[in-house]
């Protein structure tokens, strides 16, 4: 409850900071969405143990994903609050016995402080906090959605302004701490042997680009 108050209170207070507010929508993309995962491998028989001895597998890995997302929120003079929905995908490394194809998603609530550079007029910096619910399902494995916390920072460049709307480009970096646990079994080709796999994804790193439209 104490954590929830710390996260949600700024979202409530921000609505009273300015009367000059507008709505905005965005699309985001990155090819460098990275997940840090710890893997535990348990051979089910001597053949599986022998295969593992011939093909050492990293217990800690950073896997790269492609991510697409959309978001919507409200923009104030020096704040913004918004929610995004993202989908990400990882293609299996065929040289890694424990690697899997992964499909995942995130729903995130965010609050950012925006610092406008008066001299340049079109450039702003932002930094803020995020609360997320994320799920990642490696192929053939089971997992459950997991909450997480983190933050983001970056720059915004206005590319077109009118009295009623504004178009901007954004480059940002988000870091999330969470604990996505997945379990499954990998069958060793041409044998009846298998390896039990347990993975724990503990962090997500997201350098991204977005196009923002305020109205």
At 214 the pLDDT is 95
Fill in the DSSP letter of residue 15.
G
Find the angle CA(177)-CA(179)-CA(180) to the nearest 5 degrees. 125
Beta strands in the chain (DSSP E): 22-43, 60-75, 79-90, 102-116, 123-138, 141-143, 146-161, 166-187, 194-214
CATH of 34-214, one of 2.40.128.110, 3.30.300.30, 2.40.160.20, 2.30.140.10: 2.40.160.20
Rounded distance between C-alpha atoms, residue 114 and residue 154, angstroms: 10
3-state SS assignment for residue 180: strand
Rounded distance between C-alpha atoms, residue 157 and residue 120, angstroms: 10
Beta bridge partners of 13: none
In contact, 134 and 185? CB cutoff 8 Å: no
Rounded distance between C-alpha atoms, residue 141 and residue 198, angstroms: 9
At 105 the pLDDT is 94
Other Cβ atoms less than 10 A from the Cβ of 117: the count is: 11
Taking the chain (215 residues) in runs of 10, the rounded mean pLDDT of each run is: 48 48 95 91 85 78 93 94 96 81 94 88 94 90 93 96 90 96 84 87 95 96
Q: Which residues neighbour 23 within 8 Å (Cβ) at sequence distance 6 or greater?
A: 72, 73, 74, 75, 214, 215
Rounded distance between C-alpha atoms, residue 208 and residue 199, angstroms: 25
Q: How far is CA 206 from the centre of its chain?
A: 6
Rounded distance between C-alpha atoms, residue 153 and residue 205, angstroms: 12
């Amino acid at each position: 409850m104490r954590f929830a108050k710390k996260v949600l209170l700024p979202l409530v207070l921000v609505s009273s900071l300015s009367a000059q507010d507008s709505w905005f929508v965005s699309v985001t993309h990155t090819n460098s969405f990275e997940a840090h995962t710890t893997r535990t491998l348990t051979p089910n028989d001597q053949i599986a143990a022998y295969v593992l001895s011939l093909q050492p597998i990293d217990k800690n890995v950073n896997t790269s994903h492609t991510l697409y997302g959309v978001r919507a929120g409200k923009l104030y003079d020096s704040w913004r609050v918004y929610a995004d929905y993202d989908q990400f995908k990882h293609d299996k490394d065929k040289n890694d016995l424990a690697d899997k194809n992964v499909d995942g998603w995130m729903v995130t609530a965010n609050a950012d402080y925006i610092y406008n550079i008066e001299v340049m007029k079109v450039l702003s910096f932002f930094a803020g906090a995020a609360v997320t619910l994320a799920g990642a399902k490696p192929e053939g494995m089971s997992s459950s959605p997991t909450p997480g916390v983190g933050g983001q920072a970056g720059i915004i460049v206005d590319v077109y302004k009118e009295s009623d709307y504004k178009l901007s480009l954004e480059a940002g970096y988000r870091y999330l701490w969470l604990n996505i646990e997945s379990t499954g079994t990998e069958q060793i080709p041409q044998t009846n042997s298998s390896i039990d796999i347990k993975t724990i994804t503990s962090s997500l790193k997201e350098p991204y680009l977005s196009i923002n439209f305020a109205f």
